[in-house]
């Protein structure tokens, strides 16, 4: 384990000695956080040289806040209270941490300059000033990394932000990210996130770095400690995602763990119109040195949402177990989640080809209106588990293993509205598609640090695998047997007559996928790690099989191998400024051709190539990131009845974000994106009937569907002066217009949404109580939120949320 040193000029030893003996204090402002991070803040503010073995502080827990005038000795005593550690001062003023029981002969460790890099173990990166984001995150196989040390862009949102925003799903958390926008999935209510102009499906969100474990489509936050957002292509870092999405970025979920202080927390919540729920969060550590931990979360929510007639039912139970030994660390997470939505407001489709009379996208209905049919519903039920193990082979090398599994049962009768006229005239379709999924995943590897002369190395070797099987059937309506409906004046419709495929009572196996990969990387540090060069390569094997739903005949199978490299460079120009650049790829499994002349052929995996450069600023209480990037992804077209990946979507963008607490009591999260998308190699149809013909390049130069030209967020959280415990917050989202079709003939307008919130924390009979209130979409704005996927998703209406949390 590396020691940590905070270096000061030689003349600083004398002020240090004076500070520890003088009654005059040093002005300190150290927020409550884990002990490692608190010591970092303390050493910088007190201008002292502090040395310690990082293994002493691992898992110690939260240090109290320091705000005011303290001597060095007083400040250290407060920070170390209850930690089992004390300190000694050398003759040169150097401070060394030692265990309390060690009375003599403390070993003073050699100094090494802090680089902010993490060992890759389970320790969570510390929170940044303000507590809304962390200064580090898990960067795929590279493990936990500090934001200044990696050539990539990311954000990591903390449990504090989740609770203060009353975010009940990952989608509600990601509304705080200026680089992310949202849509619904095809036909149902799954959350889809658009990052850098490409979709990330809920199926492809990682859990502790492992794909294929979390609940499908909608992920709740009651058991979540961090939501980490990686921006950009990431096939090398994480391997190919199970569903093939996440090309423009991905998300990793970090679960809650038992803390050193017991957790006993109950939350009651209400959301308009009549949704009521409760959440119980229990955590406890026990055994010698608090080595064993248990964290249990239970939640239930039920009632009508702010959309007229839409009812939601939610249940959750999770258990997190962990053990932290001197060299061995173990953890396990097990959960059950069930969500049902009755009469959920679905997405809206327009006919293909677009009718001549449909000269623009139909006006969005009132924010609260519901055009779903009374017989529609959706239900998702997930059972999942994951085991993790890490073992320190030495102070410099760690081996790890993660295994996970889940079983998903999905049912639903979906009503779909196909609007063909500006007056809302439409037809109603019906789909019943029971689906079961079994998924098993594994990840293992080795991480280590060593040096060759003046060059340091962070070496990583990783193996991953995911095995999935699908069982499905469906009842669906064709265009000819849909029934009348209307977008603005919805009326109940009988269920249309369906076409049945497969055994809907006992769905049979219709598909299986397997992905396996091996990766190796090395981050070379030059000039005392002021320059960090990351080089790596991953070999990925992807295989897929499919069977016809009705006949069970094999329809396609393939097995392909792809190698994806990464190159990244970080230059630490100053202690506060890092410059970076990367070249990395994304990977998606090739789809099965449905064209006449090559039907059943599986296309090769699609490579998305990314180049990116950026700047990162870190001033301790205030940080910022600027990134410029380009992604090029192949697109599938059909020419002369042959399907091939011969077109391309190119996205170029500029991202900017700011975060932190630049002024005491004022916490900021803000940023924006300018995004230019362009299609090339396209093909389109001109004419109708017998005169119809295909034209290459018809839509070349057009913008991609559902990708706005700009988007930005402005968010602040402010402690009200003079009223202890009272804080208010606000979030403004602004998103540019989006095209509905690749011909760029129809588009939705830009939209703005404002959310407001407040909280009040106080004590009653020695119990901590926090009251929260939030009003989302304050103006009850009617807006089409997204056109991504070639359909329209309406934004949610004004929603009041209130909650009360009691710690006992």
CA 607 to chain centroid: 22
Structure tokens of 374?
Answer: 């009374």
Give the span between the Cα atoms of 783 and 797, in whole angstroms: 9
Give the span between the Cα atoms of 703 and 442, in whole angstroms: 39
> Residue 53's pLDDT is what?
67
CA contacts within 13 A on the Cβ side of 290: 16
Q: Which residue positions in the chain have pLDDT lower than 70?
A: 1-25, 53-55, 58-59, 61, 90-93, 101-122, 186-188
Q: Given this structure, which CATH class describes domain 255-807?
A: mainly beta
Instruction: Give the residue extent of every domain in the chain.
Output: 3-99, 136-254, 255-807
Closest CA to 219 of 173, 179, 186: 173
| Equal CATH topology for 136-254 and 255-807 | no
Contact by Cβ (8 Å): 170, 161: no
Does an H or E element contain 46, and which?
helix 35-46
Give the span between the Cα atoms of 194 and 206, in whole angstroms: 16
Neighbour tally for 377: CB within 10 Å: 19
Whole-model pTM? 0.85
> Residue 25's pLDDT is what?
67
Contact by Cβ (8 Å): 639, 667: no
> Residue 59's pLDDT is what?
60
Provide the 3-class DSSP secondary structure of residue 68. strand
The full DSSP string for 308-376 is: TT-EEEEEEEEEEEEEE-SSEEEEEEEEEEEEEEES----EE--SSPPTT--SPPPPPPTT-----TT-
Residue indicated by tokens 């898992």: 59
Residues 6+ apart with CB under 8 A from 207: 213, 214, 252, 253, 255, 333, 384, 386, 404
Is the backbone peptide bond immediately before 520 cis, with ω within 30 degrees of 0? Answer: no
Structure tokens of 413?
Answer: 């009768």
Sign (positive or negative) of CA dihedral 791, 177, 157, 631 = positive
The full DSSP string for 577-636 is: EEEEEEEEEEEEPPPBP-SGGGTTPBPPPEEEEEEEEEEEEE-SSEEEEEEEEEEEEEEE
> Residue 117's pLDDT is what?
37
Residue indicated by tokens 């019906």: 430
Helix axis angle, 72-80 relative to 35-46, nearest 10°?
Answer: 180
Question: Distance of CA 126 to CAs 42, 226, 719, Å?
Answer: 14, 11, 22
Give the span between the Cα atoms of 257 and 121, in whole angstroms: 14
Give the span between the Cα atoms of 326 and 328, in whole angstroms: 6
Is the backbone peptide bond immediately before 273 cis, with ω within 30 degrees of 0? Answer: yes
> Residue 23's pLDDT is what?
39
> Residue 478's pLDDT is what?
86
Structure tokens of 367?
Answer: 């924010």
Give the span between the Cα atoms of 418 and 429, in whole angstroms: 8
Helix boundaries (H) for 413-495? none
Helix boundaries (H) for 500-592? none
The CATH architecture annotation of domain 136-254 reads: Beta Complex (2.170)
Residues 6+ apart with CB under 8 A from 232: 152, 153, 196, 248, 249, 582, 584, 610, 612, 629, 631
What fold is seen in the domain 3-99?
Phage tail protein beta-alpha-beta fold (3.55.50)
Sign (positive or negative) of CA dihedral 106, 111, 115, 121 = negative
Structure tokens of 511?
Answer: 């598909």
Provide the 3-class DSSP secondary structure of residue 230. strand
């Amino acid at each position: 384990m590396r020691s940590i040193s905070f270096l000061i000029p030689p003349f600083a030893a004398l002020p240090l000695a004076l500070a520890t003996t003088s009654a005059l204090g040093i002005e300190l402002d150290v927020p409550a956080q884990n002990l490692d991070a608190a010591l970092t803040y303390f050493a910088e503010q007190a201008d002292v040289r502090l040395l310690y073995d990082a293994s002493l502080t691992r898992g110690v827990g939260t240090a109290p806040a320091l705000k005011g005038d303290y001597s060095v000795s007083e400040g250290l005593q407060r920070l170390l209270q209850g930690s089992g550690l004390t300190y000694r001062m050398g003759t040169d003023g150097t401070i060394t941490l030692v265990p309390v029981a060690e009375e003599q002969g403390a070993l003073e460790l050699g100094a090494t300059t802090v680089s902010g890099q993490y060992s890759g173990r389970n320790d969570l990166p510390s929170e940044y000033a303000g507590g809304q984001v962390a200064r580090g995150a898990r960067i795929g196989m590279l493990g936990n990394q500090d934001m200044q040390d990696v050539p990539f862009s990311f954000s990591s949102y903390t449990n504090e932000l989740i609770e203060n925003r009353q975010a009940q799903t990952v989608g509600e958390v990601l509304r705080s990210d200026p680089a992310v926008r949202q849509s619904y999935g095809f036909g149902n209510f799954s959350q889809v996130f658009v990052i850098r102009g490409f979709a990330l499906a809920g199926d492809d969100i990682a859990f502790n770095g492992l794909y294929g474990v979390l609940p499908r489509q909608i992920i709740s936050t009651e058991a979540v400690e961090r939501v980490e957002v990686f921006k950009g292509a990431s096939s090398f870092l994480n391997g190919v995602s199970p569903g093939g999405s996440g090309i423009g970025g991905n998300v990793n979920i970090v679960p809650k763990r038992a803390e050193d202080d017991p957790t006993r927390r109950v939350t009651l919540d209400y959301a308009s119109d009549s949704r009521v729920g409760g959440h119980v969060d229990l955590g406890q550590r026990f055994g010698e040195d608090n080595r064993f931990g248990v964290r249990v979360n239970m939640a239930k929510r039920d009632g009508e949402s702010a959309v007229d007639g839409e009812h939601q039912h939610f249940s959750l139970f999770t258990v997190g177990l962990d053990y932290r030994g001197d060299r061995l660390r173990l953890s396990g997470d097990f959960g059950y989640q069930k969500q049902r939505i009755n009469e959920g407001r679905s997405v809206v489709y327009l006919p293909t080809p677009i009718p001549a009379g449909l000269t623009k996208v139909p006006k969005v209905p009132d924010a609260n209106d519901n055009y779903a049919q009374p017989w529609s519903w959706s239900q998702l039920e997930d059972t999942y588990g994951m085991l993790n193990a890490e073992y320190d082979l030495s102070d410099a090398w760690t081996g790890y293993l993660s295994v996970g599994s889940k079983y998903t049962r999905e049912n639903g009768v979906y009503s779909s509205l196909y609007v063909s006229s500006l007056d809302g005239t439409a037809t109603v379709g019906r789909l019943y598609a029971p689906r079961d999924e079994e998924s098993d995943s594994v990840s293992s590897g080795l991480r280590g640090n060593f040096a060759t002369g003046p060059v340091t190395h962070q070496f990583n070797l990783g193996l991953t695998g995911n095995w999935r099987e699908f069982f499905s059937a469906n009842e669906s309506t064709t265009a000819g047997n849909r029934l009348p409906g209307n977008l603005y004046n919805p009326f109940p419709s009988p269920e249309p007559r369906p076409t049945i495929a497969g055994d809907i009572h006992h769905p049979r196996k219709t598909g299986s996928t397997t992905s396996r990969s091996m990766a190796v990387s090395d981050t070379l540090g030059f000039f005392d790690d002021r320059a960090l060069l990351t080089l790596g390569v991953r070999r990925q094997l992807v295989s897929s099989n499919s069977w016809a739903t009705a006949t069970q005949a094999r329809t396609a199978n393939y097995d392909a191998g792809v190698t994806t490299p990464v190159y990244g460079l970080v230059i630490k120009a100053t202690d506060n400024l890092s410059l970076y650049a990367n070249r990395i790829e994304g990977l998606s499994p090739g789809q099965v051709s449905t064209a006449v002349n090559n039907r059943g052929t599986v296309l090769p995996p699609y490579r998305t190539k990314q180049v990116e450069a950026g700047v990162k600023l870190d001033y301790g209480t205030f940080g910022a990131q600027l990134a410029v990037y380009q992604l090029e992804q192949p697109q599938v077209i059909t020419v002369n009845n042959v399907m091939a990946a011969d077109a391309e979507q190119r996205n170029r963008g500029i991202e900017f974000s700011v975060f932190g607490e630049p002024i005491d009591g004022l916490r900021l999260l803000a940023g924006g994106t300018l995004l230019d998308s362009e299609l090339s190699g396209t093909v389109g149809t001109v004419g109708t009937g017998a005169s119809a013909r295909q034209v290459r390049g018809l839509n070349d130069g057009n913008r991609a569907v559902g990708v706005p030209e700009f988007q930005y967020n402005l968010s602040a959280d402010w402690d009200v002066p003079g009223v202890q415990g009272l804080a208010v917050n606000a979030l403004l989202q602004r998103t540019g217009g989006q095209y509905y079709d690749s011909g760029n003939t129809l588009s939705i307008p830009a939209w703005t949404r404002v959310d407001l919130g407040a909280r009040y924390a106080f004590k009653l009979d020695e119990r901590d109580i926090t009251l929260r209130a939030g009003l989302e979409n304050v103006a009850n704005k009617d807006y089409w939120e997204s056109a991504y996927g070639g359909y329209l998703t309406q934004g949610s209406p004004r929603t009041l949320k209130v909650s009360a949390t009691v710690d006992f």
